[in-house]
């Protein structure tokens, strides 16, 4: 009995992770190359690799941004050298490439691009919803049950 409760409570994590990942997956599919299926798959794959890239590049950029306030120009260049410029330019270039690819996708293949983004996002959200449905045995969350109970008290069971 306790193992069932542990599993049910632990399934909250994948439920909300899938729901939270639905929007980024759709946005990443918008800027991906290929056809409908290729964009969807790329959106899912980038969900896995993007956080590691952001963490790696973001921590470097955050430290550099902090050091611009603390260090003089000579100290900053001595510490980072050309890496500072390369990291900043590469981050901006990556964002510009994504924006350019998204605009190109929307102008040349609007239907497949929007469909890929919608399907990629919707499948993850539905997966999260399905996990939640199984976790609550079809009864909904505590908030849903409370609202249902309040509705029955106010308007009576119909």
Task: Give the mean pLDDT of the chain.
Answer: 83
Query: How many domains are there within the chain?
Result: 1
Q: Over 60: is that where the pLDDT of 1 sits? A: no
Tell me which residue of 68, 38, 156 sits closest to 60, measured CA to CA: 68
Higher per-residue confidence, 104 vs 80: 104
Give pLDDT, residue 142. Answer: 76
C-alpha 25/C-alpha 51 separation (Å) is 12
Query: 47-67: per-residue pLDDT in tens?
Result: 888 878 777 766 666 777 777
C-alpha 158/C-alpha 151 separation (Å) is 10
The range of the structural domain enclosing residue 72 comes to 2-155
Give pLDDT, residue 93. Answer: 84
Q: Over 70: is that where the pLDDT of 117 sits? A: yes
Range with the poorest average pLDDT among 3-7, 37-41, 75-79, 148-152: 3-7
Crossing angle for the helix pair 12-30 and 2-10, nearest 10 degrees?
20
Angle at alpha carbon of residue 27, lines to 35 and 123, rounded to 5°: 75
Query: 23-40: per-residue pLDDT in tens?
Result: 999 999 998 888 999 999
pTM (whole model) above 0.75? no
Q: Where are the alpha helices (H) located in the chain, listed in sequence order?
A: 2-10, 12-30, 36-70, 73-80, 82-108, 110-135, 142-155
């Amino acid at each position: 009995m306790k193992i069932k409760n542990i599993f049910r409570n632990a399934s909250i994590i994948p439920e909300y992770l899938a729901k939270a990942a639905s929007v980024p997956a759709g946005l990443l599919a918008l800027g991906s190359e290929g056809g409908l299926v290729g964009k969807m798959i790329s959106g899912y794959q980038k969900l896995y690799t993007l956080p590691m890239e952001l963490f790696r590049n973001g921590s470097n950029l955050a430290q550099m941004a902090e050091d611009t306030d603390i260090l003089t120009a000579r100290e900053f260049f001595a510490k980072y050298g050309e890496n500072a410029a390369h990291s900043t330019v590469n981050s901006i270039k990556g964002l510009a490439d994504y924006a350019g690819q998204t605009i190109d996708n929307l102008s040349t293949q609007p239907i497949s691009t929007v469909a890929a983004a919608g399907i990629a996002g919707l499948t993850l959200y539905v997966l999260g919803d399905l996990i939640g449905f199984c976790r609550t045995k079809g009864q909904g969350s505590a908030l849903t049950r409370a609202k249902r109970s309040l509705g029955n008290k106010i308007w009576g069971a119909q």
